[in-house]
Amino acid sequence: MTSNKAIEGALRSHVTSVKEHLMTGVSFMIPFVTIGGIFLALGYALSTFLGGTEATKTIFDATGRPDWFLAQIGIAGLTFMVPILGAYIAYAIADRPGLAPGFLLSYIIQQGNILKAAGGVIGLQGGSAGAGYLGALVAGLAAGYVARWIKQRDVPNMIQPMMPVLIIPVLTMAVLSPIVIFVLGVPVAIANAELTAFLKSMQGSEALLVGAILGAMMAFDMGGPINKVAYVFAVGLITEQIYQPMAAVMVAGMIPPLGMALSNFIAPQKYTAEMYENAKSAVPLGLAFITEGAIPYGAADPLRVIPSIMAGSAVGGAASMALGVTMPAPHGGIFVFLLSNQPLLFLGCITLGTIVTATIATLLKSDFEETVGSTDAATATQTDD
């Protein structure tokens, strides 16, 4: 029994550490995502302003135009975001010696020509789209653990100074390159290509289902690992010029804090006075696409709040996908809504999901004894006395 508990504890600790490594990679990646997505969206917006909607189709051929420069900056950010993800996952595990192998391995498996040639060697066709962020996650973890293992070896003192800058990075690359390219990269790239083709062709119920799943994932842990998986998935598709999932994810990520704040405002008797104050900050957080604004509500009453926000975000995400709403910017919330192909529908999906969340939360929650209403009444009584 004790042995089982020890194994369970060790497994739980390992899973927690892996989650922390992944979140480190995501946190370092997000600035690249934001810069890349915003500049690319600005490039498209300027291209439309200069030459109409048709001009956006030739933006990358218009060398020297202002919109071309903006698009180049955007593409650079979105190109390097995936290798940065792998690099800093490896860095979180092995520190500096893991950084270069994590970056290079993640970068190599984004190169469609390399993976296509590797597929030809092992007899698999396809994979020219690259392995995407899923490949980078695995490559980063592999690079980190191999680099850390080498780092922990006992070596002579004369070799020790060369370990972090020469021996560990080179050995890590030598060991993992064939594995990452042939065993990991090719199959993941083929699966990634199939997923991209499916997302480009989906209609009707398929779009509804994908939108609902992404929406529910964005709400479930309110900025945690599951939220980040959905977010990174949508961001990765921007490089394939698939913008509907990003719109669904942004809509869904804004709904939890907005929905809970609305419920708090319309039914203050169901929330503590402290939560009423939190609602005032949840609104700007929600509008800025910061899902974490709903965490105080979820922490205080998870059994009622989490189903409420998941339902609202699923509805908002499904509606966004079904209506074909797009969003080329990976962040910004309400402040980038004009970049959507259908700005009013984008806002409408947010409103719909917010109402759904507020309605369900208000119906599920019971009254609190100490509410903002009773606090205000007590204050008024003391003033009269």
What is the sign of the dihedral through the CA atoms of 57, 60, 62 and 65? positive
- pLDDT at position 149 is 95
Tens-digit pLDDT profile for residues 295-310: 888 877 888 899 999 9
Q: Across residues 268-283, what is the average pLDDT?
A: 84
Q: Which residues contact 358 (CB under 8 A, 6 or more apart)?
A: 259, 260, 262, 263, 266, 312
Average pLDDT, the chain: 83
Given a contact cutoff of 8 angstroms between Cβ atoms, the answer to whether 268 and 257 are in contact is: no
Q: Across residues 134-149, what is the average pLDDT?
A: 91
Percent of the chain with pLDDT over 70: 88
pLDDT of 248 strictly over 70: yes
- Matching residue, tokens 């850390």: 148
What is the sign of the dihedral through the CA atoms of 236, 352, 210 and 16? positive
Q: Is 385 helix (H, G, I), strand (E, B) or coil?
A: coil
Q: Across residues 216-222, what is the average pLDDT?
A: 88
- Of 190 and 375, which is predicted with more confidence? 190
Q: Is 241 helix (H, G, I), strand (E, B) or coil?
A: coil
* Whole-number Å distance between alpha carbons of 244 and 324: 6
Tens-digit pLDDT profile for residues 341-385: 899 999 999 999 999 999 999 998 877 654 444 445 444 555 555
Given a contact cutoff of 8 angstroms between Cβ atoms, the answer to whether 124 and 132 are in contact is: no
Question: Per the confidence metrics, is the pTM higher than 0.85?
Answer: no
- pLDDT at position 108 is 93
The residue type at 250: M
Tens-digit pLDDT profile for residues 47-106: 777 776 566 667 778 888 888 898 899 888 878 888 998 999 999 999 999 999 999 999
- pLDDT at position 194 is 72
* Whole-number Å distance between alpha carbons of 254 and 24: 23
- pLDDT at position 384 is 52
pLDDT of 210 strictly over 50: yes
pLDDT of 166 strictly over 90: yes
Measured in degrees and rounded to the nearest 5, phi and psi for residue 124 equal -115, 135
